[in-house]
Amino acid sequence: MHPSHCMHRHEALRPETHRQRVFSALWLFIIFVSVVDGFLVYEHRAFINTNELNPMGRALLSLNAGQIWYLLVAKFTGTVVSCGLLLLIHRNYQRLSIAVASAVATFQLGLLLFLLFA
Which pLDDT does position 118 carry in this prediction?
85
What residues does each domain of the chain span?
21-117
Which pLDDT does position 2 carry in this prediction?
58
Q: Which residue has the higher pLDDT, 18 or 28?
A: 28
| Rounded average pLDDT over 84-105 | 96
Which pLDDT does position 14 carry in this prediction?
83
pLDDT in tens, 21-69: 999 999 999 999 999 999 999 999 999 999 999 999 999 999 999 999 9
Write a three-state SS string for the chain. CCHHHHHHHHHHHCHHHHHHHHHHHHHHHHHHHHHHHHHHHHHCHHHHHHHCCCHHHHHHHHHCCCCCHHHHHHHHHHHHHHHHHHHHHHHHCHHHHHHHHHHHHHHHHHHHHHHHHC
